[in-house]
Each structure stands twice: as structure tokens, then as C-alpha cells.
């Protein structure tokens, strides 16, 4: 498209020619087997993105030492025995028109996280760092690396680069960001050394520079070496932008061919995985500052899945390449859709972070792409037998089920008892920072129309209606209703549901207590505080429970900026006209309030399922 001439202009890193300026950033995933070998699932995942038109794919962090894998499902490149399967992956990606790089790294002290130790024999995963400084997230004090151990690590990184080259990868990216070992050396918080590897910016960069120099000797002058670095660690006392600007020329002098500038150590993942609460392109200024002091290409990243601002970044000369991670999880064919002018068909990333920060590597998902990392299993193929399908409920689940069923060739009718599609998703779209969530409803409606789904609004699906239709299969997607509290006073007039507040069906007084500390509770408390209300949040467990880490940190930061009092581990026992009674550690407290807002979850609507079970030949509840 003429509007995206810079995105689709060929690029170059060292001698590697790229067909466009879009890079798939490495993003964590459970794609290796227990020993660290490439799986067929990994190949399927990367091939789908290669088919989608991206210029360069950077395969996720791959361990350079046996005792430093981030989990049992992290890829490994610490031995030549991994080369054949790595070669299979590289060959498959290149076979579909994309260039491919392998990201190499070592977790250092953040290997102490329980999820990184899980599944390994005790003591197998060694926790090391530049200094004996406790890791913020776990409190574990790492073994301080000796000079000889540092030299061993340098050699290990270089050998892994050589293996990547032998396996057919066309570049290697050294992971020097996000709190991994290289970035721990760069960090003044974690690096307290007094030898040649600590103190000044140049000394703290020495480890990274020695890795680059050793890798260059292994792979020769024309094999591209990329360094992923933070422009900012994201917390007080960490690596700063000023230090990043001073470090970048040192890396270039040591032999780096491109700098991939990100942000956010693992203690501040809301800087790395920008949430729906943050502006698109919020990290671009970091890359732009680095680009001013180096002559090598600079890659920027961070909520740039919308091609218009991404194109603008390139036109303004703030970076040379755009890296995408979550947008390519949401839609592996995003690049081709932009190139072909099919912008309305893009499954747009919501920055909801359902895909990352879940506390493990097995539960990955995507709100807008159910097939992520299950590409082969979820491929949409023609159904062997065409059926008449009823879908009951027009929320996202029902719309997705209807669209996919029709795409497979079934005759599908969707029944929605209200006058609009979207269900409770429409309520989310009314919230501040979430207007773009409506893209999902619009896209699903278009997909249903294109697939031939019949949509009947203002039609309640009863048992009698289902019996008359004689459908072969019935899918029930009736959603849920807001839950209440089983305590005295929960039905008082001063109690409102968060959903009704968001929809404008209820109002609050000046003093408000929000009960519930997950997504909705935190969001509503923040919104009310911005309206000038005196808000407190009370929850029976920790604030942010079940909220993905990056989103939790972003919400907590905003609530703290607004000085909203947070009261975790308070069990509400009674609601009165003047406020809330709650217990904490055996002590009764009273929270004065004019209005109490309930944000305590939802109750599934399951009544129809039992009614239909005796009459539906096939019945699915989703």
C-alpha cells in the first residue's frame, strides 16, 4: 500500500537483506521439549508467522548453558546435539520467505523464580549474577560470578552463536534486556562489582562487549549480531536511558550489527509488555535516543501493531525496523493483510496481556486468536459432515463459535435475546483505555456475515424453540451475570454493581468503597478516583489476584499515583447504610462510604444447559 512505503521498504542488517522493516520479536513460549529440543509445535508456530509476511523472525530465548534454562520448555543451544532440530526450524521458516535469527541468553539471577526452577532436579538450575545482590522478585541471593566463570560464559555465548550459524540461522540476537544476565551486568542495581566488570558504564558493559567480540571471532564478519538491550529498566536505581545512550556506542565498537531497544526488567514487565492502559509506541523515544549515537540499524518495539503509527516512526527516522511480538501472536498474517490493504481483517492485539505474564509457560492463550501455539490443532478445515447448528448467545464466545462453524461449512444460526451482539464485552468497551476492544466485536460480526451465519437478535432461545428447529448441534454461550456478596446488607440501596456503574445505569456518592481487587475492581477504583471521588478498595485476597503481571503492575502504579487506599486480605462481613464492615486478622474494621461498588466476579448462566440436554443430539457449553 502507498500509505506504508517505509514498512515495506527492504532493509539490511550487516549483509542480511530483509524484504521489509517488520521484525518478529522473540517472545517466551512453551515450544521446546523437556530437554530443550525444538518441537514440531515450535516449527508450526514460527512457520505460520513466516507465511504471514514478516521480514525477520527472531526465535525465542535459547539457553547457552545447561544449568541456565529458564524452564524445562526453553530451547537450548549449549551443545552441538541441538543443531539438527534447530536446523529443521530455521529451514522451515526460510522456506516460507522470512529471514530467521536465534535469540541467545542466560537468565542469571532471575532463574531463582519458582517457575524457572520447576521440573528440574534440586540444584540443577544455578542462580548466578554479577554481584551477590538479592533478586527483587524472590529475595534469592545469587552466586557472584568469578572472573573465570565470566570467561566461561563469554565462551558459551560465542559457541552458541556458532551453533546458530551452523543450524542455518541467518543472525543471532544476544538477549541483553529484561533482567537477563547481560542486563544484570549493565544494571547499577544488580552490579556492585569493584573489578573491571563493575562501576563505570564502560566496565558494566564489558561483559556484553566481550561476548560480542568472542562471537564475532566464531561467526566471521558477515554474520549479523544483534543486541537486545533496555533503554530503561523501568525502576528506580536500574539501567537508565542516559546509561543506554552511553552503552550503545561501546556495543557497536565491540562488533554489534543492530541494536534492538526495549525496556522493562522482569521486575517491571509493564514497561516491556505495554498494557491497554499505556500509549502505543511508548518506548519509541528510547530507540530514537540510541539511534542518535550509533550508525548501525536500530529496532524499536512496544505496542506498534497498528501500521499507521509504525509507519510514522520509520518516516520520522526514529528507528530503522519495527519489532512486533504480541500483534503477531494475535494475527500471524498481519503483515500480509497490511500489504494487501486488508486492514479490517486484522485480528488486532488488545494489549490485554492474556498471553504473557501468567506465571508459567503452559497456559498461554490469546483473546483474539485461540489458535496461537496450537496452529495445527486449530486449523480451520472443512467439516466432513455438514450440520445444522444453533448458537445461543451473541457474546464473543458465541460469535467466535458461529463464525468458525460456518467457515467449516455448517449451516449456522445465532440467537441473541438482546438487540445487539457483544454481550458483556460491550461493557468493557465503555471503559477508559478500552475503546479499541470494540474492534473484536466488529471483526467477528464481519466474519460471521462473510461465512453466511444467520443472526437473529431480540430472540430468546427456549427449549421449545430448540425443539422446533431440529438442529444437529446446539452451542450454548449464554455468558454470566455479575456476582453478589453473601453478606448482610448486600441488597441495600447504597450497593451498586460495577457493570451498572460502567454502563451509566448507576451513580455514586463522594465516598466510595470498591469491593473486589481484580481487573474490574482495580479499573473502577481508578476511574472513580479520576472523577474526584474519595475511593478505597477492599478485597479478601491480594490486590491484583489473577491479573496478569504487567497489567497488575500498571494498574497498581496508577492507583498509587492517585493515592487510592488499597486494603488486601479484608473479608467483608456486613454492608451498612454508612459503609462496610470487614475483618482482617481477627480485627473488625469499618470503612465509611456513601456508595459500595461490587466487583466480585461473575456467575455463569447455566440454566439452559440442563433444559436442553435431553433434546439436543449434540450439546456444547462454552
pLDDT in tens, 151-191: 999 999 999 999 999 999 999 999 999 999 999 999 999 99
Residue 6 DSSP label: T
pLDDT of residue 120: 59
With bands split at pLDDT 50, 70 and 90, how would you rate the model's confidence at 511? very high
Report the pLDDT value the prediction gives residue 117, as an integer from 0 to 100.
54
| Mean predicted confidence (pLDDT) in 304-326 | 97
pLDDT band at 115 (very low <50, low <70, confident <90, very high): low
| Chain position carrying cell 444447559 | 609
Q: Is 502 exposed, middle or buried (0-12, 13-18, 19+ CB in 10 A)?
A: buried
pLDDT tens for 206-247 read: 999 999 999 999 999 999 999 999 999 999 999 999 999 999
Q: How confident is the model at residue 359 (pLDDT cuts 50, 70, 90)?
A: very low
- The average pLDDT across 426-431 equals 94
Q: Taking residues 45-55, what's their average pLDDT?
A: 97
For the chain, what is the total number of helices (H) and then of strands (E)?
21, 28
Average pLDDT score over the chain: 94
Q: Name the one residue in this structure whose C-alpha cell is 567480540.
A: 213
- Cβ atoms of 304 and 25 within 8 Å: the answer is no
CA 383 to chain centre: 32
Give the CA radius of gyration of the chain: 26
Tens digits of residue pLDDT in 248-286: 999 999 999 999 999 999 889 999 999 999 999 999 999
Distance of CA 253 to the CA centre of its chain: 33
* Average pLDDT, integer, range 433-462: 96
Residue 490: C-alpha distances to residues 263, 372, 418, 486, 562 (Å): 44, 41, 27, 7, 28
Cell numbers at 320, concatenated:
530503522
Q: What is the pLDDT averaged over residues 343-367?
A: 76
- 93: confidence class by pLDDT, cuts 50, 70, 90: very high
User: Distance between CA 276 and CA 50 in Å, rounded?
Assistant: 27
pLDDT at position 111, please?
74
Q: Could you tell me which residues come within 8 angstroms of residue 533 by beta carbon, excluding any fewer than 6 positions away?
A: 508, 510, 511, 512
Q: How confident is the model at residue 129 (pLDDT cuts 50, 70, 90)?
A: very high
CA dist., res. 209 & res. 187, Å (int): 15
Report the alpha-carbon distance of residue 432 to residue 544 in Å, rounded: 18
- In this predicted structure, what is the pLDDT of residue 538? 97
pLDDT digits (tens, 9 = 90+) for 522-544: 999 999 999 999 999 999 999 99
Kindly report, residue by residue over 14-31, the tens digit of the pLDDT.
999 999 999 999 987 678
Helix-helix angle 519-530:549-561, to 10 degrees: 30
**365 — pLDDT class (breaks 50, 70, 90):** confident
Of 204-218, 403-417, 546-560, least confident by mean pLDDT is: 546-560
Q: Is the dihedral of CA 48, 300, 30, 165 positive or negative?
A: positive
Least-confidence region, from 40-54, 344-358, 389-403, 528-542: 344-358
Question: Has residue 39 got a pLDDT over 50?
Answer: yes
**Among 383, 418, 422, 382, residue whose Cα is nearest residue 400:** 422
Whole-model pTM? 0.94
pLDDT at 360: 38
Per-residue pLDDT band for 121 (boundaries 50, 70, 90) equals low
Amino acid at each position: 500500500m502507498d500509505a506504508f512505503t517505509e514498512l515495506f521498504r527492504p532493509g539490511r542488517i550487516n549483509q542480511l537483506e530483509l524484504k521489509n522493516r517488520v521484525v518478529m520479536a522473540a517472545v517466551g513460549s512453551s515450544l521446546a521439549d523437556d530437554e530443550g529440543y525444538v518441537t514440531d509445535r515450535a516449527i508450526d508456530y514460527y512457520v505460520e508467522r513466516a507465511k504471514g509476511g514478516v521480514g525477520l523472525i527472531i526465535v525465542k530465548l535459547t539457553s547457552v548453558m545447561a544449568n541456565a534454562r529458564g524452564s524445562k520448555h526453553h530451547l537450548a543451544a549449549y551443545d552441538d546435539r541441538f543443531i539438527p532440530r534447530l536446523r529443521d526450524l530455521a529451514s522451515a521458516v526460510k522456506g516460507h520467505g522470512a529471514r530467521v535469527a536465534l535469540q541467545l541468553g542466560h537468565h542469571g539471577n532471575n532463574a531463582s523464580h519458582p517457575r524457572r526452577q520447576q521440573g528440574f532436579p534440586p540444584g540443577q538450575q544455578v542462580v548466578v549474577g554479577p554481584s551477590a545482590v538479592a533478586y527483587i522478585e524472590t529475595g534469592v541471593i545469587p552466586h557472584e560470578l568469578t572472573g573465570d566463570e565470566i570467561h566461561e560464559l563469554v565462551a558459551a555465548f560465542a559457541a552458541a552463536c556458532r551453533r546458530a550459524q551452523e543450524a542455518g540461522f541467518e543472525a543471532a540476537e544476544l538477549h541483553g534486556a529484561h533482567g537477563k544476565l547481560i542486563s544484570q551486568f549493565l544494571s547499577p542495581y544488580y552490579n556492585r562489582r569493584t573489578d573491571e566488570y563493575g562501576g563505570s558504564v564502560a566496565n558494566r558493559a564489558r561483559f556484553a562487549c566481550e561476548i560480542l567480540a568472542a562471537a564475532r571471532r566464531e561467526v566471521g564478519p558477515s554474520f549479523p549480531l544483534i543486541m537486545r538491550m533496555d533503554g530503561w529498566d523501568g525502576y528506580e536505581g536500574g539501567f537508565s536511558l542516559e546509561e543506554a545512550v552511553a552503552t550503545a556506542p561501546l556495543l557497536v565498537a565491540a562488533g554489534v550489527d543492530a541494536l534492538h531497544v526495549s525496556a522493562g526488567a522482569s521486575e517491571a514487565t509493564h514497561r516491556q509488555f505495554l498494557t491497554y492502559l499505556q500509549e502505543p509506541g511508548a518506548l519509541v523515544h528510547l530507540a530514537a535516543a540510541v539511534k542518535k549515537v550509533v550508525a548501525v540499524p536500530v529496532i524499536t518495539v512496544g505496542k506498534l501493531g497498528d501500521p499507521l503509527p509504525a509507519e510514522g516512526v520509520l518516516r520520522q527516522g526514529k528507528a530503522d525496523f519495527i519489532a512486533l511480538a504480541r500483534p503477531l501472536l494475535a494475527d500471524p498474517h498481519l503483515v500480509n493483510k497490511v500489504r494487501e490493504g486488508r486492514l479490517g481483517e486484522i485480528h488486532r492485539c488488545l494489549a490485554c496481556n492474556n498471553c504473557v505474564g501468567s506465571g508459567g509457560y503452559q497456559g498461554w492463550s490469546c483473546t483474539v486468536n485461540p489458535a496461537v501455539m496450537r496452529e495445527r490443532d486449530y486449523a480451520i478445515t472443512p467439516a466432513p459432515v455438514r450440520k445444522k447448528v444453533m448458537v445461543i448467545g451473541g457474546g464473543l464466545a458465541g460469535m467466535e463459535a458461529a463464525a468458525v462453524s460456518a467457515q467449516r461449512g455448517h449451516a449456522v444460526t445465532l440467537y441473541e435475546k438482546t438487540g445487539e451482539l457483544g454481550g458483556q464485552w460491550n461493557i468493557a468497551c465503555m471503559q477508559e483505555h478500552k475503546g479499541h476492544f470494540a474492534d473484536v466485536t466488529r471483526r467477528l460480526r464481519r466474519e460471521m456475515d462473510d461465512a453466511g451465519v444467520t443472526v437473529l437478535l431480540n430472540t430468546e432461545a427456549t427449549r421449545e424453540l430448540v425443539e422446533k428447529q431440529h438442529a444437529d448441534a446446539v452451542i450454548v454461550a449464554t455468558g454470566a451475570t455479575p456476582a453478589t456478596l453473601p453478606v448482610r446488607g448486600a441488597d441495600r440501596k447504597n450497593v451498586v454493581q460495577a457493570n451498572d456503574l460502567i454502563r451509566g445505569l448507576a451513580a455514586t456518592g463522594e465516598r466510595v468503597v470498591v469491593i473486589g481487587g481484580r481487573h474490574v475492581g482495580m479499573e473502577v477504583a481508578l476511574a472513580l478516583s479520576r472523577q474526584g471521588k474519595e475511593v478505597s478498595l477492599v478485597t479478601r485476597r491480594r490486590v491484583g489476584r489473577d491479573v496478569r503481571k504487567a497489567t497488575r503492575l500498571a494498574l497498581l502504579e496508577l492507583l498509587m499515583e492517585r493515592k487510592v487506599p488499597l486494603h488486601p486480605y479484608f473479608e467483608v462481613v456486613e454492608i451498612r447504610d454508612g459503609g462496610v464492615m470487614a475483618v482482617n486478622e481477627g480485627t473488625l474494621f469499618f470503612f465509611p462510604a456513601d456508595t459500595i461498588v461490587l466487583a466480585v466476579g461473575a456467575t455463569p448462566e447455566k440454566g439452559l444447559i440442563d433444559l436442553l440436554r435431553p433434546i439436543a443430539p449434540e450439546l456444547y457449553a462454552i
